[in-house]
A and B are shown apart, each in its own frame.
Chain A
Amino acid sequence: MDVKRLIWRGAIAAALGLAPLVTTARAQDIYVPLLTYRTGPFANSGIPIANGMHDYLIMLNERDGGIGGVKLNIEECETGYDTKKGVECWEAVKGKNPAVVNPYSTGITLQLIPKAAVDKVPILSMAYGLSASAVGEKFPWIFNPPATYWDGLSIVFKYIGEKEGGLEKLKGKTIGFIFLESGYGREPLPLLHQFAKEYGFTVKEYSVAAKEMQDQSGQWLAVRRDRPAWMIMWGWGAMNPTAVKRASENGYPMDRFIGIWWSGSDDDARAGGQAAKGYLSLNINGLGTDYPALQDIKKYVVDKGKSQVEKDKFGEAFYNRGVYNSVIVAEAIRNAQKVTGKKVVIGEDVRRGLESLRISEAQWKELGLPGFASPITNLSCADHNGHHAAYVQQWDGTKWVKVSDWITPMKDKVRPLLEEAADDYVKKNTGWPKRSEACDKST
């Protein structure tokens, strides 16, 4: 058995020997770590986003030689949507001067928020994470453009109001809310209950725990009994396709079932097949491949075999979501280079770049993505979100179709709640640091 003991000793020695080598990085690159998940129960949502994020940045490297002449060093860290591994990834990347970290999980974001200010790394949680982190005075290192979950819910209600002929028509009706039992799914609840009070409808909550997200028969049986006028979904991963399938099986009218932008991937709706026709979801980015930038991705990355995307999934809703995320990262880096005058920017610079980020309609066009997303015009030191518009898309049986204009959220309703939630967060976390970061005026 001596041999085995030696193996064991060797393993320990390897562990101790390898670990100090983990944090080394090249100084002349801009390091962009991507926390992604291509494994685990949420991989179906994670893979297209990971591909989109990765491919756009690689395309910039291939086509333009990086940003401002500096190459991007892109590295994926697999989280499996697991908080533990997400925090581990943070520890692994934070020493390498990352430009920005995208956790791509609300749970991981919640863990990282307090660490960001200490480690001086900005977090971009694009349209997810803690809604209250939109308040820049309290959360100088966290950014969640283009819209918060609460904005999303208000957009859903604007759309419902449009269809019902006024939100006051909701009085006495029932609205069902089916959500993943997690920080993410619970986020919109306060605003939902406020709306219920305001417009006089009843809310039925159907929570789906992660372990039953591929079943959901109980929840949809209850939906059948309650017959809500509208169903709103905050789902993720395997929960989405299951919910769409169950809804169609239970004969719920699909055109009254509307998901947040994270419940609107092609795979989510495809699972329901033709029966899912009519299913609605919000979206914050353009669909399809008819954008010059996406054609460049195809030319420089996909066709050269540098991408993991399957050919027929290129340009799907979530792939483009990943592209959108990378556009914000890239433009923040470009803006940081402009603001600081440095070429190789690190976290502290990119934080300033994000705070004064502007992507006007003309700039979207310049980027090769005309009309791809709502122009980013409202970011400021106080507002790290901007409350930008989203639109509603509908599944036609084979693909998503845009069915509404860009709808702006009810900022007047959302913002006071955000401020309140941010105050509450700071109050509960005694010793929360006061903002000491200076403010750059946007140009």
Chain B
Amino acid sequence: MLYREAGQFKTSYLADQAIFPIRQDRIGMAVIIAGAYLLTLTQNDFLLNAMMIPFLIFTLAAIGLNLLTGYTGLLSLGTGAFMGVGAYACYKLTSLFPDVNVLVWVVASGFFAALVGVIFGVPSLRIKGFYLAIATLAAQFFLEWCFIRVPWLYNYNVSGAIEVPTRTLFGIPVTGPTATAQTRYLIVLTIVAVMTWLASNLVHGRIGRMWMAVRDMDIAAELIGIRPLPTKLLAFAISSFYCGVSGALMVFLWYGGAEATVFNINQSFNVLFMIIIGGLGSLIGSYLGAALIFILPIVLRFVPPRLGLDIQAATVEHVTFMIVGALIIFFLIVEPHGLARLWQIAKQKLRVWPFPY
């Protein structure tokens, strides 16, 4: 009843092509964004530090992978490594040029990840599907090896880990231990929101259509004048850019330091699962997937103590594993196209409610 577009007339092409053509969507979006920003007022460090910041960072990585796998149809298992490139690039840049604002380097590190992504994306012209997954797996192992064996990357630290120094923005610490959760959340939220908006414009425009054409049938795409190699490499570049920024955010605004193992193959799988469950080729799906894979286990861990059940921490961990696994299977059986599709169906039903036809 409320969710109906009757009476909303479009009088220009611009209005018709808007990302959110329906007024209710625009209002909903504004409410969500306002709510997200209002969360900075909370004093609950755990909510921000352990849930919201990582959730947003993983979302960004999922969006990055979704641009490549969901929109362009190129399967990649190198996400973790590309995140690592961003993190290590940012670390090197800020230790070489400490006077430049660290947020500049966080974004700039994305370009390094993009460059590496392009290099490892070259085989994508010749190979597809599982074969490409193996090629990107090589990127994963090679880069992880570099993070361990090239001491220059971690400034010859004895521990082999990178430590994030304190850096400020307008005199307020944004990285390092003294940065408050609120500041860091605000920065992560802003970067992720802006980059989501950019991604949304990308996929709705010419570039996104090129990617989808290549995904749906690359020979047909070539026949209508899309050059496959630049298109695929562009997808690799932009995808890796997103992953790189998310990796830099992860180390600088969440962990505050990291070992190479953080960027191992499990991280790649994690992000891949997020987009599969969230929905391939959907931005909202990236958010939903990251929420299901990352936030749900944390919430589940706090359910038994809330209910007054005295269960061992390890048992809770095992049960959480089982529940999350079961939920993943449940969601995939109910809707193989992911949570984003469920969301879409729900919207569709709402539009005609209460008189479905």
Contact = CB atoms under 8 A, between A and B. Distances in A.
Contact of B159 (A80, A118, A187): A187
Nearest to A106: B159
Given A91-B49, A211-B264, A183 B342 contact: no
B313 A18 contact: no
Given A39-B318, A110-B159, A95 B45 contact: yes
Contact of A115 (B50, B98, B256): B256
Contacts of A115: 177, 256
A206 to B, nearest CB: 14
B176 A19 contact: no
Contacts of A80: 317
A111 B257 contact: yes
A21 interface: yes
Interface string B8-52: 000000000000000000000000000000000010111101110
Given A83-B258, A429-B165, A186 B158 contact: yes
A421 B291 CA distance: 40
Interface string B216-238: 00000000000000000000000
Interface string A251-288: 00000000000000000000000000000000000000
A84 B163 CA distance: 15
B95 A428 contact: yes
Contacts of A8: 339, 342
Contacts, number: 159
Interface string A161-198: 00000000000000000000111001101100000000
Contacts of B207: none
Interface in A1-56: 1-2, 4-5, 8, 11-12, 14-15, 18-23, 36-39
A76 interface: yes
B172 interface: no
By CB atoms of chain B within 10 A, which of A107, A187, A189, A425 has the most?
Answer: A107
B177 A114 contact: yes
Nearest to A433: B178
A296 interface: no
B50 A4 contact: no
B132 to A, nearest CB: 22
Contact of B255 (A19, A21, A23, A83): A83
A190 B262 contact: no
A15 B291 CA distance: 10
A156 B180 CA distance: 43
Contacts of B318: 39
Contacts of B314: 36-39, 76, 78
B255 A87 contact: yes
A114 B66 CA distance: 34
A102 to B, nearest CB: 14
A20 B158 contact: no
Contacts of B54: 84
B123 interface: no
Interface in B248-302: 255-259, 261-262, 264-265, 291, 295-296, 298-299, 302
Given A38-B314, A78-B314, A211-B264, A88 B298 contact: yes
A114 B256 contact: yes
Interface residues of B, number: 56
Contact of A187 (B95, B158, B302, B342): B158
Contacts of A92: 46, 50
B299 A11 contact: yes
Interface string A88-101: 10011011000000
By CB atoms of chain A within 10 A, which of B42, B49, B303, B349 has the most?
Answer: B49
A46 B148 CA distance: 25
A150 B238 CA distance: 45
A111 B255 contact: yes
A161 B256 CA distance: 41
B257 A11 contact: no
Given A19-B44, A88-B298, A110 B257 contact: yes
Contacts of B44: 19-20, 22-23
A117 interface: yes
By CB atoms of chain B within 10 A, which of A14, A210, A425, A431 has the most?
Answer: A431
A429 B157 CA distance: 11
B299 A429 contact: no
B6 interface: no
B236 to A, nearest CB: 25
Given A5-B342, A115-B177, A183-B160, A19 B47 contact: yes
Interface in B81-127: 95, 98
A354 interface: no
Interface string B148-172: 1000000101111101111000000
B159 to A, nearest CB: 4
A83 B257 CA distance: 10
Nearest to A150: B158
Given A18-B299, A114-B177, A183-B160, A1 B345 contact: yes
Contacts of A38: 312-314, 317
A18 B303 contact: yes
Nearest to A184: B159
B349 A2 contact: yes
Given A36-B313, A92-B50, A189 B299 contact: no
A428 B166 contact: no
A404 B277 CA distance: 57
A77 to B, nearest CB: 6
Given A78-B314, A308-B312, A430-B98, A19 B177 contact: no
B334 interface: yes
B257 A182 contact: no
A293 interface: no
A94 B177 CA distance: 14
Interface string A225-237: 0000000000000
B133 interface: no
A316 B153 CA distance: 41
Contact of A430 (B159, B160, B165): B165
Contacts of A95: 45-46
A49 to B, nearest CB: 13
A20 B334 CA distance: 32
5 contacts: A5-B346, A14-B299, A76-B312, A78-B317, A431-B166
Given A118-B178, A211-B264, A430-B166, 9 more contacts: A15-B51, A19-B51, A76-B313, A107-B161, A111-B257, A114-B256, A189-B158, A430-B98, A430-B165
Top 3 A-B pairs, shortest CB-CB distance: A431-B166, A38-B314, A114-B177
